[in-house]
Structure 1
Amino acid sequence: MVAQEFTVDLNKALVFQVGHLGEHYQEWVHQSIVSKEGPRFFANDYVEFLTRTKWWVIPLVWLPVVCFSLMVSIQRGNTPSNAALMVVAGMFLWTLMEYTLHRFVFHIHTKSYWGNTMHYLLHGCHHKHPMDGLRLVFPPAAAAIICVPFWNLLILFTTPAMTPALFGGGLLGYVIYDCTHYYLHHGQPSKEPAKHLKRYHLNHHFRIQTKGFGITSSLWDIVFGTLPPEKSSSKMT
C-alpha cells in the first residue's frame, strides 16, 4: 500500500506542517506564492508576533550598537582613523559571511521532519512567500544569536582595541544587507546599481535558486563560481 502524499494546508499555521513533506519539501518550498500577505507560522498569537519584524527595527536596534562598538574601540586605544579602517574591514568580512550563510546554511537540503521545519523557519519561508514584508529581515533576537559566534571568532584573531571596531563594521554590514534585501523585494529602483541588484536577486528566487547568493554584491558569486548565467538574469525585468 502506498502512503498518501502529505499536503500542506495554507489556511493553518505552517511551521509544524512542513516537516511532514519529507523529501518533497524542497520542491514545495521553491514553488513561490507571490503575495504581500504572509502566512501564519504558529497557532499561538504571542509566538506568531515574535516572527514578524518591520524593516526599520533593524537600523533602530543595531546602529546604536555599531556606534557604541566604535566608541569602545577608540577608548581602548585605537585612533579614529584606524577604527574607521577596522569598520570598513568588518563590513567587507560581513559580505563573505552573507554569502557563506546564504549558500551553505540557508540553502542546505533537508528532508527530515525537524530539518525541514528548521529550514523553513530560517529561510524556506522566504522562498515560499518572497513578498512577505514582515519576514524579510531577521528578528533582532535571531540576529543576536549570530552575533555571539562572530564576536568570539574575532577575539581569537584580533587585539582588544581592534575587536569592537571590526565587530561594529560587521554589524553595520549586516544592517545594510537586511535593509538592502527588503528594498530589493519592495522597492522599485530606477538607477544602477540598485536596479541590477534587484534583477540579480529576483533571478535567484524565480529562475535559478542554486546560484546568485550575494545580496549586497555579486563579488563572492564571481569568486566562487556561482554567478548565474547571463541569459537568465538578462530576461528579468
Structure 2
Amino acid sequence: MVAQGFTVDLDKPLAFQVGHLGEAYDEWVHQPIVTKEGPRFFHSDFWEFLTLTVWWAVPVIWLPVVVWCISMSVSMGCSFPEIVSLNFSRVRGALGIFIWTFIEYCLHRFLFHMKTKSYWGNTAHYLIHGYHHKHPMDHLRLVFPPALTAIMCFPLWNLAKLIATPSTAPALFGGGLLGYVMYDLTHYYLHHANPTIPVTKSLKKSHLNHHFRIQDKGYGVTSSLWDIVFGTLPTTKALKRAQQKY
C-alpha cells in the first residue's frame, strides 16, 4: 500500500515501517490479511522470538504462578476456604467478573483502538494491537507474549497489595491472573475453534464481526455487556452496510 509517498513492504520486518504511514496508518491496519502465518516484526532474532507465543504457553507459564500465589497466602495463615471465598464466592466472584469485563472493554476500546498518526504512535499501536487487526489469524501472535504479561503484572500486583491484606493479596493477585488466562484462551478459541454451544457461537460471531465487518464496534471479547451499556454494539443495519463496503 502506498501512503504519503511510503510503501509498506510485507516481505521485510514491519515494526519500524508502519510509523511512516502517518495519517494513512489507521486505514491500512484495518484492512486484514487472512493468513495463519504473519510477517516478521524485527530484524533481530531475539526480539522477534519475544513476539511469538503458542497458545498453550499461557496456561503452562501462568497457572503455576497462580498456584504459587495461592500457596503464599496459605503459608501466611490464610486458610484455603478463605482463599476460595476471596476469589470465588458468589458475590465477590460476580463482582470480579463484572470488573474484569469493564477493564477488558476499556483496554480494547481506548488503548487497543486509539487513533494515532505520529511515527512512534503508529509503531506502538501496531505492536500492541494493530498487528492483530492486520493479521487476525496469525496463531503465534494472538495471545499476550509472556514478557508483556510479566510487565503488566507489576502494577496489578501493587494494586492487589493496596486493596488487600498482606496474607490475602497474593491470592487476590493469583485470582486476577487466572482471569487473564481465561480471557486469553477464550480469545484464541474464538479465532481458531468451531464453537458448538450458543454462547460461544455468539461470542465468535461478534468478535469476527469486529475484525472483518465493523471494527469500531463490538469491543467486548468475553462479554457484550459494556458494548450494550455504551452503545458500541453493532446494529444489524450497520453490519449490512459494512458488509457491502468490504
Match of 2:192 in 1: 186
Is the Cα contact below 8 Å between 1:52 and 1:139 reproduced in 2?
yes
Q: Name the structure 1 match of 2:59.
A: 59
Partner Cα distance (1:223, 1:101) in 2 = 16
AA of the residue aligned to 1:12: K
Cα deviation per residue 1:148-179 (whole Å; 9 max; x = unaligned)? Answer: 11111222222112211221111111101111
Contact 1:14-1:41 at 8 Å conserved across structures: yes
Equivalent position amino acid for 1:22 in 2: G
Alignment partner of 1:29 is 2:7:
no
Matched residues, number: 234
Q: CA deviation at 1:222?
A: 2.6
Whole-Å separation in 1 of the counterparts to 2:4 and 2:117 = 17
Q: Which residue of 1 aligns with 2:19?
A: 19
TM-score normalised over the length of structure 1: 0.91
Q: State the AA in 2 paired with 1:86.
A: L
Does the 8 A contact of 2:4 with 2:22 survive in 1? no
- Flag the 1:232–1:177 CA change in 2: closer, same or farther, 3 A: farther
Alpha-carbon distance between aligned partners in 1 of 2:222 and 2:129, rounded to the nearest angstrom: 17
> Is the contact made by 1:213 and 1:226 (CA closer than 8 Å) also made in structure 2?
yes
Q: Deviation string for 1:88-130 (max 9, x for gaps)?
A: 3475243332222111111111110001001000000000000
Q: Which residue of 2 aligns with 1:160?
A: 166
**Per-residue deviation at 1:195?**
0.7
Please tell me whether the aligned partners of residues 95 and 173 of structure 1 are also in contact (alpha carbons under 8 angstroms): no
How far apart in 2 are the matches of 1:225 and 1:67? 38
Matched, 1:136 2:175: no
Output the amino acid matched with 1:187: A
**Aligned positions of 1:74-93 closer than 5 A:** 74-88=74-88, 89=92, 91-92=96-97, 93=99
Retained in 2: the 8 A contact 1:207–1:232? no
Q: 1:162 to 1:211 in 2, by over 3 A?
A: farther
- Structure 1 unpaired stretches of 5+: none
Among all aligned residue pairs of Structure 1 and Structure 2, give the percentage whose two residues are the same amino acid: 63
Q: Indicate whether 1:119 and 2:137 are aligned.
A: no
User: Do the aligned partners of 1:22 and 1:113 also contact (CA within 8 Å) in 2?
Assistant: yes
Q: Which moved more, 1:57-66 or 1:3-12?
A: 3-12
Q: Does 1:149 align with 2:130?
A: no
Shift, 1:78, TM fit: 2.9
Flag the 1:64–1:233 CA change in 2: closer, same or farther, 3 A. Answer: farther
Per the alignment, do residues 229 and 82 of structure 1 end up closer, same or farther by CA in structure 2, a change over 3 Å counting? farther
Residues 200 and 233, structure 1, Cα contact 8 Å, conserved in 2: no
* 1:47, distance to aligned residue in structure 2 (A): 1.7
